[in-house]
């Protein structure tokens, strides 16, 4: 049994590869909910959805986001009405949010809904939202305080960030099975997701960071930074703006005290010794999951 | 200036006809919200939507409900997910509900949203929800207490009703302009909507019944019952189950003390004297709005 702390796309790809090496039912993804939002009355969980869509084989590989065979009738009509259409929700995707919102209004938790949807889609990897309480990652910027999706989607993460706060994290409760699973699994993997806005909101839920610190020898992280740049998203820019080194060394330092092994890309092989000197084992491989074979190779290193 | 107490389809047709005789901007519809619901996190206002869609020319005349050129992608996907798909929401229609739900979450009222949507659609008749507070028409049945849409849609109004309660009506506040308009208009029309579940929830909002009672000489109602039967919906059955006479006389009695003029169908001409004996003026015409000419004729009688 392994656990994987997971953001969106990068984690989804790693989980997909891991489930070709292990029995999927032996993998638990503990998923960020800091970028969840309520929009148009609908509860939307972007990271949970990205992962479950990917594992169900429903994701749109070409676009890199969203669902295969998606259509946009509702959004087109909403634009006509002058509604808030900056957050694009396809018709298929909307069905997921309608389902979740109705179940939550009936008293179900995000954990319950995630389990129900995964069962429907035949997803055997176990997905757990890190918490069923409301936590919201917010950004201090020259435009004021921005919600996650305002920052990420509306402003295309093209605005200077001077601070990040995961509102509600300090009083949130880990969802059922999260801490138990982290305590009892054989290995904890930190996916190559954004350390500041995908992984940190997981670590901030009381109990999670403590388990990792206690089990650091069993914790393996994959660097999301290669040659000083993020493959996707604003991880590099945020590291710089918030005073971290923009390299895999910066990420290793960010996870100081929490990881026993750090996996970096071949392009960063020359930084191996710098990181080893921190008392962290370093593995060097191809971390870019450009095709299924690369992903599989990375999965094998993660599990080695 | 005239006001029209309005339910859904019957009211929409009458309003449409009235706006061919009067300037549309001289007509205010005061609309039932007792069958509004929150489903899938979305705030849905069936009567407001039926009327605005009809006046905007967006309604699906053939189906008798919903929007022209509607598609069902989201509902089909929701059914696949095992979601609650008994309340059919088309893709175009969903855009309306997403728009409304988002605006309400931003602090707008149903009045605000209705005005915005009508402006977008070029609807010049003024639509006012009778209240912006939550009121919910509920039914006592052998299956227990049912919400409006459980009764109407899920059970196809095919269940015995022993009582109706408009929950929240007694403490609701009339929406802005509702009581002012009722006081100052030249004529108040009660549309041929269901007296018990479309009109009564309007009358129960504090202040409304009182204005009608005071202005009864200016109040004109159109009977929704012809030859002892409702053209559409369960008005006849509900009148019987709740101890009223299933005829236009029963409706006139239901509106006792509130109306000065009652318009009945030619088929019921023999009941003219029975109703006149109650001190109510009676007009006899074709009340079935089977085609636009019939509707226009009825509109002229209403305004005579």
Task: Determine whether the interchain pair A78/B98 forms a contact, defined as Cβ–Cβ distance below 8 Å.
Answer: yes
The pLDDT value recorded for residue B276 is 97
Are B217 and B260 within 8 A, CB to CB? yes
Taking only the tens place, the pLDDT of each residue in A139-185 is 999 999 999 999 998 899 999 999 999 999 999 999 999 999 999 99
Alpha-carbon gap, residue A27 to A9, rounded angstroms? 17
- The mean per-residue pLDDT over the stretch B167-193 comes to 98
- Is A117 within 8 Å of chain B by CB? yes
Q: CB contacts < 8 Å between A and B, how many?
A: 112
**What is B2-36+122-155+163-303's CATH number?**
3.40.50.10680
- Is A108 within 8 Å of chain B by CB? no
Task: Determine whether the interchain pair B74/A94 forms a contact, defined as Cβ–Cβ distance below 8 Å.
Answer: yes
Task: Determine whether the interchain pair B38/A71 forms a contact, defined as Cβ–Cβ distance below 8 Å.
Answer: no
Of A77, A84, A101, the CB nearest to B92: A77
- Is B232 within 8 Å of chain A by CB? no
Tokens of A231: 């493959």
Taking only the tens place, the pLDDT of each residue in B237-255 is 999 999 999 999 999 999 9
For residue A44, count other CB atoms closer than 10 A to its CB.
21
* ipTM of this complex: 0.89
The pairing of beta strand B163-167 with beta strand B144-147? unpaired
Shortest Cα–Cα distance, B247 to chain A (Å) = 40
The pLDDT value recorded for residue A232 is 86
- Is B105 within 8 Å of chain A by CB? yes
Rounded to a whole number, what is the largest CA-CA distance in chain B? 59
- The mean per-residue pLDDT over the stretch B18-25 comes to 96
Correct CATH for A2-37+123-155+163-303 of 3.40.309.10, 3.40.50.10680, 3.90.1150.10, 3.40.50.360: 3.40.50.10680
Q: B101 to chain A: which residues are within 8 Å by CB?
A: 40-42
- Is B56 within 8 Å of chain A by CB? no
Task: Determine whether the interchain pair B91/A74 forms a contact, defined as Cβ–Cβ distance below 8 Å.
Answer: yes
- Is B281 within 8 Å of chain A by CB? no
Alpha-carbon gap, residue A197 to A43, rounded angstroms? 19
- Is A96 within 8 Å of chain B by CB? yes
The pLDDT value recorded for residue A205 is 98
Which of A68, A73, A115 should one mutate to test binding to chain B, selecting the residue with the greatest count of B CBs within 10 A?
Answer: A73
Q: B77 to chain A: which residues are within 8 Å by CB?
A: 91-92, 94-96
The pLDDT value recorded for residue A300 is 96
The three state secondary structure string of A138-201 is: EEEECCEEEEHHHHHHHCCCCCCCCEEEEECHHHCCECCCHHHHHHHCCEEEECCCCHHHHHHH
- Is A174 within 8 Å of chain B by CB? no
Average pLDDT score over chain A: 96
Q: A77 to chain B: which residues are within 8 Å by CB?
A: 91-92, 94-96
Shortest Cα–Cα distance, B175 to chain A (Å) = 22
What percentage of residues in chain B have a pLDDT greater than 70?
A: 100
Shortest Cα–Cα distance, B75 to chain A (Å) = 7
Task: Determine whether the interchain pair B83/A102 forms a contact, defined as Cβ–Cβ distance below 8 Å.
Answer: yes
End-to-end CA separation in angstroms for chain B? 14
Residue B63: pLDDT band with limits 50, 70, 90: confident
Alpha-carbon gap, residue B87 to B29, rounded angstroms? 25
Cβ contacts of B176 within 8 Å, gap of 6 or more: B111, B128
Shortest Cα–Cα distance, B301 to chain A (Å) = 36
Q: B122 to chain A: which residues are within 8 Å by CB?
A: none
Three-state DSSP at A129 gives: strand
- Is B52 within 8 Å of chain A by CB? no
Global pTM?
A: 0.92
Please report the beta strands in B182-272, taking only residues with DSSP state E, as ranges in sequence order: 187-190, 219-222, 225-226, 229-230, 261-265
Three-state DSSP at B94 gives: helix
The pLDDT value recorded for residue B83 is 93
DSSP helix, strand, coil percent of chain A (3-state; round to 5): 45, 20, 35
Q: B95 to chain A: which residues are within 8 Å by CB?
A: 74-75, 77-78, 80-81, 83
Are A185 and A2 within 8 A, CB to CB? yes
Cβ contacts of A211 within 8 Å, gap of 6 or more: A179, A182, A183, A188
Task: Determine whether the interchain pair A91/B74 forms a contact, defined as Cβ–Cβ distance below 8 Å.
Answer: yes
The pLDDT value recorded for residue B56 is 96
Q: Which residues of A169-196 are buried (b: 16+ CB within 10 A; e: fewer)?
A: beebebbeebbebbeebebbbbbbbbbb
Q: B102 to chain A: which residues are within 8 Å by CB?
A: 39-41, 83-84
Answer whether residue B60 shows pLDDT above 90. no
Task: Determine whether the interchain pair B39/A102 forms a contact, defined as Cβ–Cβ distance below 8 Å.
Answer: yes
Q: CA of B117: which chain A residue's CA is closest?
A: A81
- Is A39 within 8 Å of chain B by CB? yes
**Which alpha helices (H) appear in B22-152, and where do they start and end?**
46-55, 73-80, 91-105, 110-121, 148-149
Alpha-carbon gap, residue A176 to A279, rounded angstroms? 33
**Could you state, in order of their start, the residue ranges of all structural domains in chain B?**
2-36+122-155+163-303
The pLDDT value recorded for residue B113 is 98
Answer whether residue B91 shows pLDDT above 80. yes
Task: Determine whether the interchain pair A101/B42 forms a contact, defined as Cβ–Cβ distance below 8 Å.
Answer: yes
Taking only the tens place, the pLDDT of each residue in A40-89 is 999 999 999 999 999 999 998 877 778 999 999 999 999 999 998 888 99
Distances (CA, A) of B137 to B6, B134, B146, B151, B201: 15, 10, 9, 10, 7
Which of B95, B110, B120 should one mutate to test binding to chain A, selecting the residue with the greatest count of A CBs within 10 A?
Answer: B95
The pLDDT value recorded for residue B64 is 75
Answer whether residue B178 shows pLDDT above 90. yes
Average pLDDT score over chain B: 96
Residue B275: pLDDT band with limits 50, 70, 90: very high
The pLDDT value recorded for residue B290 is 87
């Amino acid at each position: 049994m392994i656990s994987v702390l997971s953001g969106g796309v990068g984690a989804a790809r790693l989980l997909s590869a891991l489930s070709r090496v292990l029995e999927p039912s032996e993998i638990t993804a503990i998923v960020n909910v800091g970028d969840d939002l309520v929009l148009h009355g609908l509860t939307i969980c972007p990271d949970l959805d990205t992962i479950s869509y990917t594992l169900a084989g429903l994701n749109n590989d070409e676009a890199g986001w969203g669902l295969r065979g998606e259509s946009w009738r509702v959004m087109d009509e909403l634009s006509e009405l002058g509604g808030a259409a900056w957050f694009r929700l396809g018709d298929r995707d909307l069905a997921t949010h309608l389902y979740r919102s109705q179940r939550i209004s009936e008293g179900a938790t995000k954990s319950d809904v995630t389990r129900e949807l995964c069962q429907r889609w035949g997803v055997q990897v176990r997905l757990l939202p890190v918490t069923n309480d409301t936590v919201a990652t917010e950004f201090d910027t020259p435009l004021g305080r921005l919600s996650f999706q305002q920052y990420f989607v509306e402003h295309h993460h093209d605005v200077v960030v001077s601070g990040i706060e995961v509102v509600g994290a300090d009083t949130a409760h880990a969802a059922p099975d999260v801490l138990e699973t982290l305590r009892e699994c054989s290995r904890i993997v930190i996916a190559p997701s954004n350390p500041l806005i995908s992984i940190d909101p997981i670590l901030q839920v009381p109990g999670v960071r403590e388990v990792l610190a206690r089990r650091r020898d069993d914790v393996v992280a994959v660097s999301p930074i290669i040659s000083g740049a993020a493959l996707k998203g604003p991880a590099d820019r945020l590291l710089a703006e918030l005073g971290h080194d923009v390299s895999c060394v910066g990420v290793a330092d960010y996870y100081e005290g929490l990881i026993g092994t750090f996996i970096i890309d071949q392009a960063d092989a020359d930084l191996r010794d710098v990181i080893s000197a921190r008392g962290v084992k370093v593995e060097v491989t191809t971390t870019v999951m450009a095709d299924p074979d690369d992903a599989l190779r990375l999965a094998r290193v993660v599990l080695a």
